[in-house]
Amino acid sequence: MAIPFVKLPLLLPVRHPPHLLLPLHPSSSLFPFPPKPHLLRKPNHLHPSKANTKDNSSLTSLLSDLQDIEATEEVKTRFSPPSLHEHLPSRWPEIHGSNNWSNLLNPIDPLLRSELIRYGNFTQATYDAFDFNPFSLYCGTSKYPMDSFFSSLNMDSCGYEVSRFLYATSNIKLPNFFTRSHADEVWSELANWIGYIAVSSDATTALLGRRDIVIAWRGTVTKLEWVADLMSLLCPVSPKGIPCPDPSVEVESGFIDLYTDKDTSCRFCKYSAREQVLAEVKKLIDHYAVKNGEEVSISVTGHSLGSALATLSAYDLVETGVSGGKTVCVFSFSGPRVGNRAFKERFEGLGVKALRVVNVHDTVPKVPGFLFNENVPALLQGMVPDSYNHVGVELELDHKSSPFLKDTKDESCFHNLEALLHLLDGYHGKGQNFELVSGRDLALVNKDCDFLENHLMIPPFWRQDLNKGMVRSEDGKWVQPERPKIDEHPPDTHHHLTKLGFNLDK
């Protein structure tokens, strides 16, 4: 069944100048697959030397007409899901971990690879939309409003719609995660945008065989100073409001503080990130599952610090019962350990599934618990009660397997999400040759780092705002444009939290 997409992708490869903001996704279609060879040829009408005569003009016109017909056929092909994805509804439980991805990782299942990249794109959107610029009046927000979020990122054909933005309070001291504007008057003294919740459209739901709720968490994109702050300080989850009956279940204190802290003096922080997630998921499940009788799944994704938030929120949804017995799966990228062994056992015992994609040379997945972790004998772990354990299943990738990546000592490159998605695109199994399969644009790797071989001629850190966000006013002066609004909490948040038993008056 084909999806009626709103915006068609370019059918010819175009080299976007580095001053453009829009991220170059391999395809704006829901399920990317390799472009056909004839689409990589430059049509004659793009060669000025061949368009100087009347005859050549007529030929150009004819070729253009033929190409329009060919393009129409190509659109039909691109937007009819390939046979690989026709099995997605029946294979959804397996792809989302019903068998803990047994026999799907080595060699990697092509459908699983495609889905990992798709959810990775949802995660990457949290970086591409975030305003990191301290000279922006809106530093710390999403640059794009909810109603045009995906279209502003050239992802308008992803088949999902944003239903809520997520904010966190900056009471937590994590270097390079919270950003501040240099302006005297700012949109918020305390808040930063940290992600979003999106839900599949009717057309995509028909293709997937279920209504999919995506929770995407932002992490850190460049320097990794925050890793040094993981001082192995564990704390129980129950005092933080998560109703776990086992007091030995503990998680890293910085992560859970970021997830549960709030400040009622700020309209963006008056609900914690936890309360925002629980309220929105409750509302969506009530509407789609309870009222409409649809099958619903919850897919949580994040990179770096966002991976920790994804793990915590997925666990919380099941522990509190908000998920209502629906499938909850985490697709995490380059994430640290989150909790102790009791947390791992509780997480997996509740049936939450997690597939963690990591680069073996990345430091972040090795902390906290660098010495005492899930890899040491159980007896030794018992002697160290604060031993950290990863949850779920790990898919290890190695950036040295890619012939397109340079030899560098820059650890932020090893941690980069676009680089990790590039590795996924070329990974077939341990010991197998690296071969790209989806046509994902190589230039994406260097969007926010310097990792590609120089001979590829892709400049490092090429992605930036046009004119760094400045526009020309009516009087000819260069100014920062005002935004019409900053999306905040839906007015029914209090209602849904009250239904969940939250006492918001204390």
Catalytic residues, by residue number, are 304, 362, 415
d(Cα 230, Cα 233) in Å, to the nearest integer? 7
Residue whose C-alpha is closest to residue 149's, from 199, 212, 205, 222: 199
Query: Helix, strand, or coil here: 432?
Result: coil
Q: Which amino acid is at 159?
A: G
Helix then strand then coil, in percent of the chain rounded to 5, is: 35, 15, 50
111 close to 88: Cβ distance less than 8 angstroms: yes
CA angle 384, 385, 386 (to 5 degrees): 90
Q: Which amino acid is at 9?
A: P
Residue whose C-alpha is closest to residue 119's, from 336, 299, 312: 299
Torsional sign, CA 322, 325, 330, 331: negative
How many other C-beta atoms are found inside a 10 Å radius of the C-beta of residue 377?
Answer: 8
d(Cα 195, Cα 219) in Å, to the nearest integer? 9
Query: Helix, strand, or coil here: 119?
Result: helix
Q: How far is CA 153 from the centre of its chain?
A: 13
Q: Which residues contact 182 (CB under 8 A, 6 or more apart)?
A: 134, 135, 139
Residue whose C-alpha is closest to residue 354's, from 401, 423, 302: 302
Element (H, E) at 303: strand 296-303
31 close to 204: Cβ distance less than 8 angstroms: no
Query: Helix, strand, or coil here: 162?
Result: strand
d(Cα 91, Cα 208) in Å, to the nearest integer? 10
Q: Going along 160-209, which residue ranges are E strands?
A: 160-169, 191-200
437 close to 110: Cβ distance less than 8 angstroms: yes
How many other C-beta atoms are found inside a 10 Å radius of the C-beta of residue 228?
Answer: 9
| Cis status of the peptide bond prior to 385, with omega within 30 of 0 | no
d(Cα 72, Cα 92) in Å, to the nearest integer? 31
The conformational region for residue 376 under phi > 0 = left, psi -120 to 50 = alpha, else beta, is beta
d(Cα 172, Cα 465) in Å, to the nearest integer? 29
